[in-house]
Amino acid sequence: MQHLYLYLSLLTKHKLVLCYNGKHFSGSQLQKQGERTVAEEVIKALSALYQTEIAIMMAGRTDAGVHADGQVCSYKAKLDIPEYGIVKRLNQLLPDDIQVKSVEKMPLSFDARKSAINREYRFVFSKGNIPFYMQDFITKVFFSVDESLLSEFIPILVGTYDFRNFQNSGSKMKSTTRNILHFSLQKKTLTSLYDDHNYDVFEAKFIGNSFLYRMVRNIMGAIFEVLKGKQTVENFKKLLTEEYKVYRYTTAKPQGLCLVNVTY
């Protein structure tokens, strides 16, 4: 027992906040050999920094092509390195499409996934032309958006519901009930970095306790069917209240989606 206390006293727990461009990743979590993932690159950099194998836990799962500006991971290490040194060295070790934004020492009980209270995702799409350098981060749609419908989804999605109709197969979650604390869908204007031209985009903002596999992208795909005029808002609402098999939708593309923040 004394040896256990000594070992624990040498351990430090850290919280890393990461941002990354998901374009060239097969997702955030470790997968089969040969597929590039965010976790693989972070583990490789941490292990090089501490000169030993480091295990990590991520706050949320992002699919292939999905980005993050506030992904969080936690890890334990025996070597105590100053926070500024960790950030500087990891950003030297990591590839250009991942960056450490901050690092913070935490209690040993902290777990990036289990300790999280809420997660925030944003999905951006546009029906018009967008600058070439923004195309990795905005989903292009090819239908006119009926802006009068945008606010009608807010009272429908906010609350606690069974989101089984928005879950892709492959998830191991026992419960498909989730709580959406905030949802908004609104038009925004972006200004080009180079020619001062303004571009209209639409942004959907989701804040919830947790999300099912591809839940946000599936919700957006279902919303697109209404905006196209192929389904009604009332039919969309049925997806949250019953097994509504008639409603067909296509999962929205990943590049418009970003994990923005995790709250603890």
Mean pLDDT, the chain, rounded, equals 91
Question: Nearest 5 degrees, angle CA 161-CA 18-CA 198?
Answer: 80
**CATH second-level architecture of 118-263?**
2-Layer Sandwich (3.30)
- Please tell me the number of Cα atoms within 13 Å of 116 on its side-chain side: 25
Q: What is the pLDDT of residues 156-205, one digit of tens each?
A: 999 999 999 998 865 667 889 999 999 999 999 988 888 888 999 999 99
Claim: this prediction has a pTM higher than 0.75: yes
| Res 192: pLDDT | 85
pLDDT given for residue 10 in this prediction: 67
Q: How high is the pLDDT of residue 4?
A: 45
136 as an active site residue: the answer is no
Q: Is the pLDDT of residue 35 over 70?
A: yes
Whole-number Å distance between alpha carbons of 186 and 13: 39
How far is residue 42's CA from residue 73's CA, in Å, rounded to a whole number? 9
Q: Which fold has domain 2-106?
A: Alpha-Beta Plaits (3.30.70)
What is the Cα–Cα distance from 29 to 25, expressed in whole angstroms? 10
Between 32 and 213, the higher pLDDT residue: 213
Catalytic site residue from 63, 111, 195, 196 = 63
> Do 2-106 and 118-263 agree at the fold level?
yes
Three-state secondary structure call for residue 134: helix
Domain residue spans of the chain = 2-106, 118-263
Element (H, E) at 188: strand 177-191
